């Protein structure tokens, strides 16, 4: 029997893989496979899935992600660095580069 938790997990795995492949196409090799991803990353992806399933649009989803990251101590940085907690997407949705907005669209569609 499928539970909501199982559904979220399956959607998260699929959406993460789509996101990872998109990153690879953009030359970003920073995203590990689902099985190798740290728990904080899996939790973040599951949160994104829940937001999509709740009907949040791409801007709302990004703004929620941004607030969570800020609470965790992440800041803008030109390079994604988990140790320094820097991320190039730490900005309002409408300021994201087109390729990053496209990646968000693919994530939502994968869910």
For the entire predicted model, the pTM comes to 0.88
Give the separation between CA 13 and CA 15, rounded to whole angstroms.
6
Query: What integer pLDDT is reported at residue 95 of this predicted model?
Result: 97
Q: Specify the number of domains making up the chain.
A: 1
- Nearest Cα residue to 74 out of 88, 91, 86: 86
Instruction: Please report which confidence band the pLDDT of residue 17 belongs to, taking 50, 70 and 90 as the band edges.
Output: very high
Which domain, by its residues, includes 8?
A: 4-110
């Amino acid at each position: 029997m499928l539970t909501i938790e199982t559904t979220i997990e399956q959607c998260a795995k699929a959406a993460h893989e789509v996101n990872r492949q998109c990153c690879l196409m953009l030359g970003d090799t920073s995203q590990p496979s689902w099985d190798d991803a740290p728990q904080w990353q899996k939790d973040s992806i599951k949160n994104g899935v829940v937001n999509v399933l709740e009907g949040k649009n791409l801007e709302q989803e990004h703004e929620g992600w941004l607030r969570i990251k800020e609470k965790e101590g992440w800041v803008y940085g030109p390079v994604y660095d988990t140790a320094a907690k820097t991320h190039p997407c730490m900005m309002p949705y409408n300021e994201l580069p087109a390729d990053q907005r496209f990646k968000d669209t693919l994530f939502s569609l994968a869910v």
